[in-house]
Amino acid sequence: MVPRHRRRLPAFWIITPARFPAGIRVVIILLGLGWAAFTADAVLGSFSGALAGTGFRDALSVGCALLVLARATLVGAERAVWASLGLGLALGCLGDIAGSFDQSSAPAGGAGTADVLRLTTYPALYVGLVLLMRERTRHFRLSALLDGAISAGALASVVAAVAFQTASRDARGDPLLLGVLLARPLGDLTLLAVIAAGFAILGWRADRRWWALSAGLALLSVADTVRLFVEPDGPPWDVTWIDALWPAAGLLIAVTSWRPSRRLTREIFTGLPALVPTVASTLTAVAVLCVGAGPGIPLLAVVLATITLIGAAGRFAVSFHEISLLAESRHQAMTDDLTGLANRRALMAALEQAESRDSAGLLLVDLDRFKEINDSLGHHVGDELLVQVARRLRAAVRSNDLVARLGGDEFAVLLSTDDIRSGKPVPAEETGQAALATSALAATRIVAEMAAPFALDDVTLHVHGSVGIGVLPEHTTDPMLLLQRADVAMYTAKASASRVGVYEAEEDPHSRERLELLEELRGSMLDGGIVCHYQPKVDIATGRVAGVEALARWRHPTRGLLAPDQFLSLAEHAGLMRELTAAVLGGALEQSCRWRELGTPLPIAVNLSPTNLLDVDLPEQIRHVLLAHDLPPDYLELEITETVMMTNPARCQDVVTRLHEYGIRTAIDDYGTGYSSLAYLQDLPVDVLKIDRMFVSRMMTDHRAEAIIRSTVDLAHSLGMTVVAEGVEDAETLEGLRRYGCDLSQGYFHTPPLPASELDAWMISADPLTGRSGAPAMVRPRPRG
């Protein structure tokens, strides 16, 4: 359901009585019908003049005034507003009634009681309007007050120019009567000026009650002004169409008073529309002065026009001051106090504007070791470092690129779409790739600028920065998501040797594609979508297959077969590694059971993640799985990396020791690439050492790699371990490994990872060592010791 305050009101809302209390609704309808009958009789003679009298007109006006006063009495909200407006209408009605019976109110006879009552109407109306404006805004500015005074001055000059001579003639030298004759049109025009000032304060989009009330009061002023210049054909008490305007204005004000009020807290209206009253008043005053150059214009009109122009000049001066303060305030709101760069608010505003651009590049820069510097050397050194970083960032990019500090040691650079080297516009069909190339070049320059040492106080420091790149529309079509994309890339950059990272959806834990892929992975683990391919480990001395390594593959319904590097990090970040390892382990052990039943028993190696190795329940869980498949524990080998063991050495040692006690073999995978340490080789009961492919592939061309492999084989054998060489690609490497005494070989020279059925065929038809036909013999694992 649409909220009540958000519903659009119908265009005829002001005459719809359904929103009023029942009694008030009846009174409004009766007054509306009475006004319609009076107007029809006054203009068309529909009732043969029976209703077209000042008495009936005055009765309608009194009814409207009483309706407004009833609103002030019965409703607490805005009570002072409507009491003042109702009092003004009531005084006007009393003046009209007195004028109907007091012939002394005629101009020829001087000023009378009716004129005094009519003139007291205006102060009450002014007060009501000002109180209502106070209800609608927090405060008045000097410029808004000047708008009302200038408008009043301009209108007063018009009144003096147009009506002064006529009023002087009718007053016949009576100064009191002259004042009365001029005061009423001047009061009407001042009322219009106050209304104009109200729109300058509240804005031209003020609520409809303000518009309706302004229309009613303006109609009162128009009726008085028209009566001033249109002489009746008959005696003064005869009514014309002009007399229908006063009750119409009263009825409009009365209906508006009973409409529900909405308290607004709108700030004072600013901008070009706020200057409309001042500009209009200035033009009016200039027109009066231009006409005043000729004969016949009273001196009073010229004086009033001159005062208006002086006030307008002051108003423009006030406007200039307000604009200067606004500009300074905006600059402060968009600027970082420490560095003088743009701040996060300015960057977000620029990103909103980037929606209209074909492309945009955003660089997010984060300093390394900043917290350490701040804590060790003091905040004043940290602040100086940030200032110097800001200077270098400005120097690394173009003048039309936006450099911002987001907070702490985090900076951002929003690049324009021009080429960074030539400044030439990029063709529309190349905007995406060009923005990416521009961003990469800018990031490289930033990293280079940051590489130089920083001279801070009495110390010189080397502080590097990591730069993440997000590009519109390559990485997102929503500019407001660009900051998040660059933030993801920045964390990738911290792990990169170049210190520059480009956004990749696979690395984004918040991307829609990644979330969808995660849900698909969850489903695949339940419905058998995770399968195993097997790569054999060949005994170098005998040519027999000594075992296989189970490698996970995801059979994706639309993307095909996915390798581990396409989904393992996703599972790790999502906390699914236990479930994924259980799926791989279950599939591998089931296949081991089949091979055992076929008379070709093959031990299987399965990789463990950091999450698995830190699980103290892992040994017990694996023991139960082996028992469920009726497999001896030495049919399973668990591979762990050096990096995993360094995560929590004490817990890892406990888990590996318990696995060893259960008879389950363990292997160090990718040996030599992590934090290689003889300590864990001494303390951990490890059975197998796997030399990383990085050393194996370079063994025949790099004597250092050859020395590392030879010494590693000797060390492992001395500790009673089996040595496996990964990544064997050719016969020459295999022969070198045989010379060094390596035990097992694994790599594409033998075969890539294969499904179980294809591996069965391979073992039947191929000789791993020669590539010729001939079945290699099966062997059991090498005994410990």
Task: Tally the residues of the chain.
Answer: 785
Report the percentage of the chain scoring pLDDT > 70. 69
Structure tokens at 528: 């058998």
pLDDT value at residue 345: 87
- The answer on pLDDT for 393 being more than 90 is yes
Q: Going edge to edge, which strands form the sheet with 410-415?
A: 402-407, 410-415, 360-367, 465-472, 500-502
- Measured from the Cβ of residue 106, the count of other Cβ atoms closer than 10 Å reads 14
pLDDT value at residue 46: 54
Q: Which residues contact 126 (CB under 8 A, 6 or more apart)?
A: 190, 191, 194
Structure tokens at 177: 């009567």
Greater confidence (513 vs 125) lies with: 125
Kindly report the CA angle at 638 between 633 and 639, in degrees rounded to 5?
A: 160
- The answer on pLDDT for 15 being more than 60 is no
Strands (E), 314-390: 360-367
Instruction: Break the chain down into helix, strand, coil percent, rounded to 5.
Output: 60, 10, 30
Structure tokens at 169: 């003639």
C-alpha to C-alpha distances, 682 to 543, 650, 686, 707, nearest whole angstrom: 31, 14, 9, 21
Query: Could you report the per-residue pLDDT of 670-689, keeping only the tens digit for each?
Result: 887 655 556 677 888 999 99
Highest mean pLDDT among 138-152, 168-182, 186-200, 415-429: 186-200
- The answer on pLDDT for 658 being more than 80 is yes
Per-residue pLDDT, averaged over 562-588, amounts to: 86
Per-residue pLDDT, averaged over 258-287, amounts to: 57
Q: Is 58 helix (H, G, I), strand (E, B) or coil?
A: helix
Greater confidence (98 vs 328) lies with: 98
pLDDT value at residue 742: 96
247 pLDDT tier (thresholds 50, 70, 90):
confident
pLDDT value at residue 156: 66
Q: Which helix (H) or strand (E) holds 703?
A: helix 703-718
- The answer on pLDDT for 104 being more than 50 is no
331 pLDDT tier (thresholds 50, 70, 90):
low
Query: Could you report the per-residue pLDDT of 638-655, keeping only the tens digit for each?
Result: 998 876 666 677 888 889
Among 115-124, 145-154, 279-288, the least confident range: 279-288
- Measured from the Cβ of residue 759, the count of other Cβ atoms closer than 10 Å reads 21
Among 90-99, 285-294, 399-408, the least confident range: 285-294
Report the percentage of the chain scoring pLDDT > 90. 24
- 268 vs 199: CA distance, rounded Å: 10
Q: Which helix (H) or strand (E) holds 710?
A: helix 703-718
pLDDT value at residue 239: 63
Among 316-325, 502-511, 533-542, the least confident range: 316-325
pLDDT value at residue 717: 94
Per-residue pLDDT, averaged over 237-244, amounts to: 70
- Strands 360-367 and 410-415, sheet pairing: antiparallel
- Rg for the chain, CA atoms, rounded: 46
- The answer on pLDDT for 227 being more than 60 is yes
- The answer on pLDDT for 296 being more than 60 is no
16 pLDDT tier (thresholds 50, 70, 90):
very low
- The answer on pLDDT for 108 being more than 90 is no
Q: Is 402 helix (H, G, I), strand (E, B) or coil?
A: strand
Highest mean pLDDT among 468-477, 503-512, 738-747: 738-747
Task: Taking the CA atoms of 310, 313, 319 and 325 in sequence, report the sign of the dihedral they define.
Answer: negative
Residue 200 has phi, psi (to 5 degrees) of -65, -30
- The answer on pLDDT for 461 being more than 70 is yes
The DSSP call for residue 342 is B
Residue labelled with tokens 């690609």: 729
Structure tokens at 147: 């708008």
779 pLDDT tier (thresholds 50, 70, 90):
very low
CA-based diameter of the chain, in Å? 138
pLDDT value at residue 718: 92
Per-residue pLDDT, averaged over 512-540, amounts to: 88
pLDDT value at residue 781: 40
Structure tokens at 476: 């997102």
- 323 vs 331: CA distance, rounded Å: 12
- The answer on pLDDT for 738 being more than 70 is yes
Structure tokens at 214: 């302004």
**Nearest CA-CA partner of 602 in 780, 782, 763, 784:** 780
Structure tokens at 282: 């200035």
Among 160-169, 304-313, 347-356, 438-447, the least confident range: 160-169
Structure tokens at 348: 């977000």
- The answer on pLDDT for 19 being more than 50 is yes
- Strands 530-539 and 410-415, sheet pairing: unpaired
- 743 vs 700: CA distance, rounded Å: 18
Among 27-36, 194-203, 401-410, 475-484, the least confident range: 194-203
Query: Could you report the per-residue pLDDT of 23-80, keeping only the tens digit for each?
Result: 888 888 888 888 888 888 777 765 555 565 667 888 888 889 899 999 888 887 888 8
Q: Which helix (H) or strand (E) holds 388?
A: helix 379-396
One-letter amino acid for residue 516 of the chain:
E
In DSSP terms, 723 is beta-bridged to 689
- The answer on pLDDT for 411 being more than 90 is yes
C-alpha to C-alpha distances, 782 to 130, 251, 547, 743, nearest whole angstrom: 100, 107, 10, 10
pLDDT value at residue 783: 34
Instruction: Please give the full DSSP string across 88-101, using - where no structure is assigned.
Output: HHHHHHHHHHHHHH
Residue 636 has phi, psi (to 5 degrees) of -120, 135
pLDDT value at residue 268: 44
606 pLDDT tier (thresholds 50, 70, 90):
very high
Q: Which residues contact 375 (CB under 8 A, 6 or more apart)?
A: none
363 pLDDT tier (thresholds 50, 70, 90):
very high
**Nearest CA-CA partner of 557 in 586, 506, 523, 533:** 523
Residue 777 has phi, psi (to 5 degrees) of -75, 150
Highest mean pLDDT among 194-208, 278-292, 474-488: 474-488
The DSSP call for residue 289 is H
Q: Is 140 helix (H, G, I), strand (E, B) or coil?
A: coil
Greater confidence (179 vs 493) lies with: 493
One-letter amino acid for residue 549 of the chain:
E
- 343 vs 336: CA distance, rounded Å: 5
- 663 vs 633: CA distance, rounded Å: 5
**Nearest CA-CA partner of 342 in 403, 395, 416, 384:** 403
pLDDT value at residue 553: 95
pLDDT value at residue 753: 94
Per-residue pLDDT, averaged over 279-287, amounts to: 60
pLDDT value at residue 20: 64
- Strands 604-607 and 545-556, sheet pairing: parallel
Greater confidence (336 vs 479) lies with: 336
Greater confidence (275 vs 546) lies with: 546
Contact 671, 691 (CB under 8 A): yes
pLDDT value at residue 619: 92
Greater confidence (175 vs 270) lies with: 175
Greater confidence (765 vs 158) lies with: 765
Q: Which helix (H) or strand (E) holds 561?
A: strand 560-562
**Nearest CA-CA partner of 500 in 439, 570, 416:** 439
Tell me the Ramachandran region of residue 684: left when phi exceeds 0, alpha when psi lies from -120 to 50, beta otherwise: beta
Among 96-100, 367-371, 568-572, 583-587, the least confident range: 96-100
**What is the average pLDDT score of the chain?**
78
Per-residue pLDDT, averaged over 203-210, amounts to: 66
Greater confidence (202 vs 766) lies with: 766
Per-residue pLDDT, averaged over 384-400, amounts to: 92
- Strands 665-671 and 636-641, sheet pairing: parallel
Contact 64, 50 (CB under 8 A): no
Q: Which helix (H) or strand (E) holds 440?
A: helix 431-451
Greater confidence (299 vs 762) lies with: 762
733 pLDDT tier (thresholds 50, 70, 90):
very high
Contact 758, 776 (CB under 8 A): no
3-state SS, 566-608, equals: HCHHHHHHCCCHHHHHHHHHHHHHHHHHHHHHCCCCCCEEEEC
pLDDT value at residue 464: 87
Greater confidence (717 vs 154) lies with: 717
- 521 vs 66: CA distance, rounded Å: 76
Structure tokens at 645: 């063991």
**Nearest CA-CA partner of 518 in 462, 593, 573:** 573
- Measured from the Cβ of residue 184, the count of other Cβ atoms closer than 10 Å reads 23
Contact 191, 125 (CB under 8 A): yes
Structure tokens at 679: 């300590």
One-letter amino acid for residue 140 of the chain:
F
- The answer on pLDDT for 400 being more than 90 is no
- 184 vs 2: CA distance, rounded Å: 47
